[in-house]
Structure 1
């Protein structure tokens, strides 16, 4: 399953949820996890039984090689995987208001910085957002008695219909209308099964409720099969597990509940306060026997749930062939030997004017060159020529231009490229007499088909990659998916902004914080700066220098650019370790964060003065040379030197990527 820990939580902002390291690792390595609620700690059992029971359930789950993930809210932050100290805060802290948190309560509890115990529905919301497939609890909520008039129906039921998760419980709380609850669950499409009970639906404290379930499973393997078949639906499974030992008679419980309900009416207790009141009153009347039963069934459910989770993940490792992306443990071989480039491919028509450029309607002398281009294609082409085993993910049409692009990449893996009926992207590039790019006109709509689904279909390639390169032609959703996936797999991501029109794409969300390298030109850096105006700048000490000393003029050029770039660089450098600003004929500016929390900004002048034949592709070759150095594990300065030499060769060629780069990683 693909998990986003930075900003893909659909129900929570990235700065309001903390996932414990043990849970993170289990998610990342596709190990079985069981979610646990915390409302049982805050509102279900008295202290210290609440905390002791929660810790004992976690211990039982761990003993079966499953990772427990107790979910709650501390100081307005959702915690997934709680420490004993945090459980104690929820279970005994009288100084701060502790709220019972259902789906509806998250906005208030988080915005107010409160503590909260998540109910079944609240826990399901969080578990679903992370891809957790199992949830153990005591009993779920349901239709309250007289619910046909009051319409008091627990949010647990609707949430179950939204999540392909198995909830292991002792049925529905006995204080509720079990019959109407089962009818409601049928209406909203939740699969209800009983576990080894001959079809009898349990009633929390007792093994029988007087109602039957449609199906009964008798083993962890059969139970796991139910959830396996639910993965193509949006609804979950309620597995009702009978209490292993009845400590109280059904008639006694029914009488205690009826008396407690009458007290509720007299005292005006309503809403989410009803259940904890009735449970407390029933415990008082039964002299603690109901509480003993509650603890007993909670521990039993933890044991049963653990066995089912282990069986389910065992099935997934051998049988699963469905669309649940990344959930199946596949045969991914993490050789990390094939860098992936994801980006645009197009045919460039480069028009170079051979006289002063005056756009006043007159005929101007010029040369027209056709070449395969696109930033992604150029990077893949150059890296392939350097001798790297590149996998290129892009889209071209089944037209002449598409065939031209494919034929230009004989040294690159193109079998993952998507062929479409849409026309291949094209670009008309206008160059001045000096070789500078004046303007571009093109149709890049073909690139819209570089979608998240396309990346998911080729996810094996990402697993095997030591580095993923993205260009700005990729859509924001796809870019976000790739960055966040790579973060979880510890794969660095290099972003080449491509053009001022698309440079800011990853910076429209928190996705940019997952990048490892970026290489904007000075105009693209300004676009990024504009987007990040509200972002707080960290005041790092900045050291500036010119590589190789340089002349006074070179230092002046570099110093001016560095001074104007300091603000945005210090904003970016907190998250992006390497920022390479390409400066055209002035070389490049390299900014890196040092181990002593200072920022080094170095100006690298161009290799030598020259009269370029064409500037098209020079920046892409510079980046490809730098990336080649990274892939070889070379020092930073050497990586930059390779890039500058590659850019020099591109400047002296009509082609964006000169063939002279072939198999010469050091050029």
Structure 2
């Protein structure tokens, strides 16, 4: 049955049912019968809608980046493709398209350039596809009326504002950035030439961010038409309507100063089912703006040329813009590029703010009782493949290969969980077999999984080779999935981060992730460096926030050289060098350093009463070292666990040494037997301190 007919019948049943229930005096049995009929029609209507929706999605080719953003509920910004095919010459069109996409990424959102390639709608384009689009001749300019024809003929099509708005709305994208809006053409009272852009804005719940209507149009009539279509028009930090190349006009509009407010408006439209568009107009930056009088002279000349050459319909705008380009020494092109880049920043910010309002909990959050965590760990999850053999150069040798769960963040998080701390682990995994196995394992040991972010890439894998003494000889890591962690993922857990007593971060994620977490953290900050990725913490803003920093002797040596240190090496035989290096970090704002010295134990360095204080801690003796992997992470986790229970740092470090000892006695990166009680017992045996 046709879905529209079902919906009409459904509405009729509801109305008639309500009347009959009223006549019957609200009879319980009669109400039940009517409700069953309503339920039947409602179910069939929904089923048909979902089927149509599924069929539509099959027609769409989404880029991996957009697909992942949809899955993770990340902010997405739609972009049209006519600026590539019809707006700029090659190679400017390709360069500008890539620059705009990068601006959107830099401002926290995912770009989705929309176009049609060989009859297939693309939402999101790779760099290669953008390059093809930039160079290809004869691409059709596609409005809504043209979409089906271009698909049927398997042609290439560049989407206008109208077509982009329609397609973006169909796939659920709420924000669309463009340069200038189409509108009511001059002399429209004679030609009836009104852009479909306006009609689509009145028909689709999308926020279009532009520099206002193109100044070649009748701007006053355009605003009137938008009002007739119930489209809200706002000025971003302006009280008058921008006119594309010109930042202002004599048309007054409501002004909004914050992108978060615009996001609120979009969200309220969604909640109230107001399926109308919103136009956000952003003035071109003053330094790039053109003079109104001069622009009007150019436009009048262009209009005369168009009339002479009988240019009309959808050919009018490209003709006028091309005329302006060639007769203004490219001033209008430069202005066009500047304004769309500016619009991209604003649009990305709106999409980002909107994502914070509309992101819903994932399935794990709904099915899992989540309690506030005293400790938040932000770091990498990796599957470790550890090969053990007597290694010989350029020769394959017999040995053993073990698979373990790893990653510094994971190792610390699981250790803390097993020791008995309440933790939230924020990390990335791939949407693959290894990712599913890792997630299921966390569930099996009762670790929270609601903060695991699925990346478009495979779950990170580390492949290490150790010799028969358990010492690492080589290692390789595939860490592409770590790019899946975005600042908005951190934003989702800002309350948990804010309420945590300790926020632990490894340095596998980007500096933007670390800074975002620091923005919300009110408790103690512990940074666990991870080799060369730790270079990013040499940032004044970051270092001033770190309470505990726990590098090994190689990491502190490498980082110290980056800070200009000219001394010797740091190891168990050169403690003075280690102290000098640590002082570099203390002087830059880090409060406490715990330098791991492998078999020599560790070194504590901090300021006490204004003086530099240091203390060496020898390692606990171990009869047999099975594997060194994870020992440093177990040390940090056990130290943190003791600190969280009120132990001072001098005593907490003994718990760290005990944790490392447990780790050294297993092939697994986390000793599954570790508990706080066993740590306490070992500390009593090995340290001789009173507990």
User: Into which bin does the TM-score normalised by the smaller protein fall?
Assistant: 0.3 to 0.5
Q: Which has the higher helix share?
A: 2
Q: Which has the higher contact order (CA 8 A, sep 6+)?
A: 1
TM-score by length of 1: 0.48
